[in-house]
Amino acid sequence: MQFTAENKAKFDTILARYPVKRSAILPALHIAQEQEGYLSKEAMEYVGSLLELTPAQVHDTASYYTMFHFKPQGKTLLEFCTNLSCALHGADDLIEKTCKRLGIQEGGTTEDGRFTVTRVECLAACGGGPAVQVNGEWVENAKEEDLSKILGGTLEYRPFEWPKSPGEPVMLRNVWKKDSATLAVYEAGGGYANLGKSLKLTPEEIIETVKKSTLRGRGGAGFPTGLKWSFLPKDNPKPRYLVVNADESEPGTFKDRLILENDPHQLLEACVVSSHALKAKTCFIYIRGEFHEAIRTMERATAEAYAAGYLGKNILGTGIDVDVVIHGGAGAYECGEETALLESLEGKRGQPRLKPPFPATNGLYNCPTIVNNVETIACVPIILEKGAEWFASWGTEKNGGPKLYCVSGHVARPGTYEAPMGRITLRELIYDPKYGGGMKDGHTLRAVVPGGSSTPVLLPSEIDVAMDFDSIAKAGSMLGSAATIVMDDSVCMVWMAQRLTYFYKHESCGKCSPCREGTGWMLRILDRIEAGHGEMKDLEVLWGVTDSIGGKTLCPFGDAAIAPPQSTLKKFREEYEYHVREKQCWRKVARTFEEAKAKAAKGALAGAPA
């Protein structure tokens, strides 16, 4: 097996972007799979010969990522997201009916080789659930009546219709314009107008301004950005790198995708300014592999920016050099963790590193590196344009600036909305007609995940809380990625914990024993309880397993994995006990848990001795 002449030229262009050959392994494997349909032994040997790697090294890397296939797939690959936000809208039923129509099992391929159907984990299409990717293209808000069109080849692309944010957005000011991803539209809206001025500032001035702005990382941890940047060593002669984390994979989160697909030049301008502040000449944007459209959009925008002189050598005559490399992942939630992302970018399995040392001193290629989320980096030009004081005031104390909030699940208007950080409560985000629009179909609120799947659930009585890092922490959860998943009274909390625990078992990188073994243990217990085969002692065992995982892993994955079972067990223990006592999920006998309890109590009363 060898690349076609066209693919070999494409590979050579990609290879030249990296200082270390092995970094090109994921792009090379993607090219090989696209050409051959899957990764054969011969294909991996060929890729290894191009990168001076053994077949074992290539297979070791390829086998880690879910997007690579080692046997032929159907001509049309249908990937159904069945994670929580999509499952709340019937994703399981949709994939079951698709398989029934085609006469195959999940993961199978039709005899004529036309279709392969599989379920996948969160695609960051939570607002458009149920979501399906048809050969990598979005078909969102999919319904049973769409199946004939999908299977007939007449429905291959239908992306989410992003609802507008109220007022005059700052970060999202361009995303609803026609042709918003083009350079012409971005420039017409003032894009790149302040770039030359920003590049004339010293790196120290920019970092100090970012510190004063109170910008905190938007990826989940909320660490002060300016402080993080100041950790770069001043006397290290090695190259410095900026790495933008666009591996948006946290269930419930779909905010960075909006920028990547609809306003790519905003991110590119931010990368140039931020790279200058860090004295970095190269910026890598690591985009999750499932974001096929985002990768294409960012690549087109990058080519436009180079042609216009906004990237490359001597940008706008300032003497500043910045190159931006778009790097696609291959399917691994763990690569959202910064050191696992760096491992993946170096062409290895995306597993976390032991810290310290931290990326600021020993990052990409063992060089000083800053890793920041898309939304975080996109804030930097806004800070320089409007001033640190304005940015800090556009929010709450220590939580400055505009913030993107995701809302999915059982709300009337799922979407990604912008508001000043902390100046909107969780209740407003759910119920305000300009945001979530309230509960659907007359149901009442049961529980809310406020910041992505890794954050503890909140009750309806706990939603009068400002949506900033500190306020949500005081309420007993975390803002995380600000990805709110809303669940109504039809949702079983044991089922919810089971669904998210499956995700964490599926996505565990396997490096740490507590995660590798503990996530499977939690899932087996939850499977038993949800199926009606649990015992009361299982509840104590489940709690003990969560306690054995939390705080005992190299990265925050362990703490993330225990949030769904631990928080639901704490706040909905009565529901777990019902499953054990009644030997079934309450949804088999009632529409709500309260109704199920009443029926059980009535039955117990009827069976009591006179």
How does pLDDT run across 164-182, given as a tens digit for each residue? 999 889 999 999 999 999 9
Start-end of H helices in 508-608:
513-530, 536-549, 557-571, 573-582, 593-607
Q: Which helix (H) or strand (E) holds 495?
A: helix 493-507
Q: What is the pLDDT of residue 462?
A: 98
What region does 132 belong to: left with phi over 0, alpha with psi -120 to 50, or beta?
A: beta
* Average pLDDT estimate for 238-260: 97
Predicted confidence band of residue 603 (pLDDT cuts 50, 70, 90) = confident
SS (H, E, C) 362-403: CCHHHCCEEEEEHHHHHCHHHHHHHCHHHHHHCCECCECCEE
DSSP 552: -
Residue 610 pLDDT greater than 60, yes or no: no
Give the amino acid at 394: W
Q: What pTM was estimated for this model as a whole?
A: 0.96
pLDDT (tens digit per residue) in 532-584: 999 999 999 999 999 999 999 989 899 999 999 999 999 999 999 999 999 99
pLDDT (tens digit per residue) in 275-330: 999 999 999 999 999 999 999 999 999 999 999 999 999 999 999 999 999 999 99
Q: Any bridge partners for residue 112, and if so which?
A: none
User: Do strands 241-246 and 369-373 pair parallel, antiparallel, or not at all (unpaired)?
Assistant: parallel
Write down all domains in the chain, each with its CATH number in brackets.
Answer: 5-62 (1.10.10.1590), 76-152 (3.40.30.10), 183-391 (3.40.50.11540), 394-488 (3.10.20.600), 494-599 (1.20.1440.230)
